[in-house]
């Protein structure tokens, strides 16, 4: 029981926790958001938000890159900090530009997903991929 209330942790527990964080948020972002945008590219390419005035199609392509490719890289633990930085930037744009920083929408529904993803990807950016990753196996 004393171990349960201890603030110490093992390196194995840390690495498993980072793996669970990477897999959960990386795969959910990839399969629920990235793949959906890729499948609907033809429909979205002319109506997708363009916050940086670079074109709807390019903005959509960059979001697909962040939500599909970078999310897969995060799940694998490959180029983890780079992928986490791109994902953090994408979630910041989603939250502060698209949702304008509001937690509740006009109909009262919550849209905290961008905050959750931002927090998870920022944590991964800070701590790195852990040893149970491609980066960890390569000794990066």
Domain locations along the chain: 21-133
Residue matched to tokens 């940086």: 52
What is residue 109's predicted lDDT score, i.e. its pLDDT? 45
Q: Which two tokens stand for residue 40?
A: 């609907």
| Cβ count within 10 A of residue 93 | 19
What is residue 81's predicted lDDT score, i.e. its pLDDT? 96
Q: Which two tokens stand for residue 22?
A: 């990477």
| Cβ count within 10 A of residue 42 | 7
pTM of the full predicted structure?
A: 0.86
What is residue 108's predicted lDDT score, i.e. its pLDDT? 47
The series of mean pLDDT values per 10 residues for the chain, 140 residues long, is 80 95 97 94 91 92 96 97 97 80 52 86 96 89
What is residue 31's predicted lDDT score, i.e. its pLDDT? 95
What is residue 107's predicted lDDT score, i.e. its pLDDT? 47
Sorted by sequence, the CB contacts under 8 Å of residue 6 that are 6+ apart come out as none
Coil, helix or strand at residue 39: helix
What is residue 94's predicted lDDT score, i.e. its pLDDT? 86
């Amino acid at each position: 029981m004393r171990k349960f209330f201890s603030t110490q942790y093992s390196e194995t527990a840390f690495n498993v926790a980072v793996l669970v964080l990477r897999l959960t948020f990386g795969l959910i972002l990839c399969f629920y958001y990235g793949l959906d945008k890729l499948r609907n590219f033809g429909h979205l390419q002319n109506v997708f938000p363009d916050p940086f005035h670079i074109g709807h199609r390019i903005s959509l392509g960059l979001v697909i890159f962040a939500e599909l490719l970078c999310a897969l890289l995060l799940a694998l633990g490959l180029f983890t900090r780079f992928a986490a930085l791109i994902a953090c930037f994408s979630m910041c744009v989603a939250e502060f530009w698209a949702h304008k920083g509001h937690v509740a929408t006009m109909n009262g529904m919550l849209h905290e997903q961008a905050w959750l993803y931002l927090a998870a990807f920022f944590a991964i950016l800070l701590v790195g991929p852990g040893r149970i990753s491609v980066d960890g196996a390569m000794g990066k």
